[in-house]
Amino acid sequence: MAARTPRDWKEWFESERFAAEYTYDGMLGAAYTHAGTTLRVWAPTAQAVDVRLYAAGDGGFLQAQLPMAPGGRGVWMLYLPGDRAGQYYTYLVTVDGESRETPDPYARAAGLNGTRSMIVDLAATDPRGWQHDRRPAAPPARRVVWEVGVRDFSADPASGVRLSWRGKYLAFTQENTTLSFDGVHPTCLAYLKRLGVTHVQLMPFFDFGSVDEGKNLGRQYNWGYDPVNFNVPEGSYSTDARRGEVRIREVKQMVAALHSAGIGVVMDVVYNHLYRWENPFNACVPYYYFRQNEDGAPSNGSGCGNETATERPMMRRYVIDSLVYWAKEYHLDGFRFDLMGLLDVDTMNAARAALDALPGGETILMYGEPWRGGASALRAPAADRDHLAALDGRIGGFCDNTRDAIKGGCFDAAAPGYVNGGPEKSWDVGAAVAAWCRSEVLHPQNPGQIISYVSAHDNYTLWDKLALTAAAAAGAKPDYDRMDETLLAQNRLAAGIYLTCKGMPFMQAGEEFARTKRGEGNSYRSPIGLNRLDWARAGRFHSLVDYYRGLIALRAAFPRLGDPSRESADAIEFFCTEQPVVGWQLAAAPGDGALWPAIAVFYNPTDEVRSAALPAGPWRLLCDGSSASLWRGAELRVADTARLQPVSVTIFGRVGQA
């Protein structure tokens, strides 16, 4: 048979006949029982598929090669009798005379570097007590997400984590760790419990391809936005990447430990592309899973050479199956979609419905980057910032408008935002307060669709950005280590804004202790020394950490701030203030448990003391811009006039019963 061209494939895959004959909704992958395992793979364009069996995940010898039988709708099947847990396998798929050996796209376990799949008895990977593990309750009003990479979390020798667990999943399970074992300054899990965040978002921990799991990790580093096996945990974060079941158990142990600490786990998912063009999808069904340009060539909206075609039924199904699998098997609490703007609206909404259908599934977070990395051949409505109204109201997007208004654009280090020399951004900051629900710039259905933030793994850390902008203005070199009072005040104001904004707050790990990457704006493959959390710095900047802690708790004490309803955004009353000061008040909702009947909030980005009129009070001072915990101490009453310190957020609570 003559080999079909990419354009032939495109026509065939997008034809009604293909969808009618081959769309398949039954089980795929390895269906394991103690008595036997059935393997099923969807390969409708293949002329033959064989299963190859191996004793090990890498190396060793081929044990057997067995032909699969066609089972209708493009599915090939093989039944393997006996208990096959631990059996490694691949498929040999022949399309138009060309045979490719590949792992199973639906693999749930794999050997070293994910090149061979493994049949796994998932029940046997459950840690002790796993059946009692539950998602912690985190009502919207309390939600704050803290983003970290698995390895970055604990790789620092000062982390207090035992050597063999540093940089691994298991580091999250070690309790009561302190800075260099000093017994005083909490690190890692102990630190997180104290900080008060409700969710930890973990950078990719599905099996990615840019780190060789068989080599010493010392000099290797990559964030991992390069998927190989979507349904298998990454091996380099496990204590044994050669035994497929180990990484599965260790991820579950990590999740259980975070859950025990009352913290949910959000997984960063990168369904928008695959690491290489030679991948399990293309080996099984060439071109099917990938979006194609008119000439059939792969579209490259990811900037990584390919993008998945979620509008094609079997790719859409794959994404949904994968999400449901992680949510059920690993008890995950949320998903963060990388380049969500490359996924279509229908896929995202179907995924929301599928997660909602799980027990307690409505609490599972879904949000992502509402943009893409380049031009895309996607014709259906995209899950991007222009389609917030078409997306389910419980799917959110990172808000670069809020981010850039507060601290300046990401790509020009010198560009200031509201807190660091750009007072003209006051209007945007006001829009950010109401999560853009009352603007013409974005059209979210409700504040819950907006992620309010100023820093994430991409681009400069907040501290570096502030240091770079200040240095550019002064014509000086940035100093990332000095505890500069101006930068600290700008940092506190930035946090004071997004942690009082509507929307769901999100922060990069270490933002709260002036994390630096020494001006590196894209550290995706920089050394671990630059990427890892510097726990000694967390000790040095402890007063900034305390400020974040106070703000996070203050936000939780006034639930209407985090209320995702549209009404709560409409209820904000802005004051007439002298520019560039921004001021507003918000009344508590009846019975919402707020500590104060109303709060009044002022942002002063100028380097002078300013005053502003307060509505009829009396009021008490909750935060003066330096301390966010005044509300825990003796009542400091204020009436009529608010005194606003330079470069500060000032928060008042109305005195009286809420």
**Catalytic residue (one of 156, 226, 321, 369):** 369
Decide whether 207 or 250 has the Cβ nearer to Ca ion: 207
CB of 222 to Ca ion, least distance (A): 10
Query: Near Ca ion by CB under 5 A, which window of 101-109, 199-207, 320-328, 491-499?
Result: 199-207
Does 338 participate in catalysis according to the annotation? yes
**Which segment (226-234, 249-257, 283-291, 553-561) binds Ca ion by CB under 5 A?**
226-234
In sequence order, which ranges of 185-308 are alpha helices (DSSP H)? 188-195, 244-260, 280-284
Q: Any catalytic annotation for residue 104?
A: no
Q: What is the signed CA dihedral for 622, 628, 634, 640, rounded to 10 degrees?
A: -30
Query: Are the CB atoms for 611 and 644 separated by under 8 Å?
Result: yes
Contacts of residue 153, Cβ cutoff 8 Å, sequence gap at least 6: 159, 167, 171, 172, 188, 509, 533
CB of 212 to Ca ion, least distance (A): 8
Which lies closer to Ca ion via its Cβ, residue 106 or residue 146? 106
226 binds Ca ion (CB under 5 A): no
Nearest-CB residue to Ca ion?
Answer: 207
Residue 267 or 355: the one with the smaller Cβ distance to Ca ion is 267
Q: Give the shortest CB-236-to-Ca ion separation in angstroms.
A: 6
**Distance separating alpha carbons of residues 406 and 454, to the nearest angstrom:** 7
Q: Which is nearer to Ca ion, 220 or 439 (CB)?
A: 220
Q: What angle do helix axes 542-557 and 188-195 make, rounded to 10 degrees? A: 50
Task: For the chain, state the CA radius of gyration.
Answer: 26
Say which of 50, 245, 250, 338 is annotated catalytic: 338
Q: Which is nearer to Ca ion, 222 or 469 (CB)?
A: 222
CA distance 396 to 385: 9
Q: How far apart are CA 171 and CA 187, in angstroms?
A: 11
Which residue in the set 207, 338, 344, 512 belongs to the binding site for Ca ion (CB under 5 A)?
207
Which residue number, 207 or 404, has a Cβ lying nearer to Ca ion? 207
Residue 208 DSSP SS3: strand
| Contact criterion met (CB below 8 Å) for 545 and 513 | yes
Please classify residue 360 by burial: count the beta carbons closer than 10 Å to its beta carbon, then call 0-12 exposed, 13-18 middle and 19+ buried.
middle
* Side-by-side strand order, sheet with 29-32: 29-32, 36-42, 75-81, 69-70
Contact stretch for Ca ion (CB under 5 A) within 182-190, 230-238, 561-569, 633-641: 230-238
CB 342 → Ca ion: shortest distance, Å?
22
- Give the type of residue at 640: D
Reduced DSSP (H G I as helix, E B as strand, rest coil) percent helix, strand, coil of the chain, to 5: 30, 20, 50
Which of these segments, 56-64, 202-210, 369-377, 559-567, binds Ca ion (CB under 5 A)? 202-210
Least separation in angstroms between residue 105's CB and Ca ion is 15
Q: Which is nearer to Ca ion, 244 or 334 (CB)?
A: 244
Determine the size of the site formed for Ca ion (CB under 5 A). 2
Scanning 206-214, 424-432, 600-608, 621-629 for contacts with Ca ion by CB under 5 A, the matching segment is 206-214
Q: How far is the CB of 213 from Ca ion (least distance, A)?
A: 5
Instruction: Report, in Å, the least distance between residue 521 CB and Ca ion.
Output: 26
Q: Site residues (CB under 5 A) for Ca ion?
A: 207, 234
Just list the catalytic residues. 338, 369
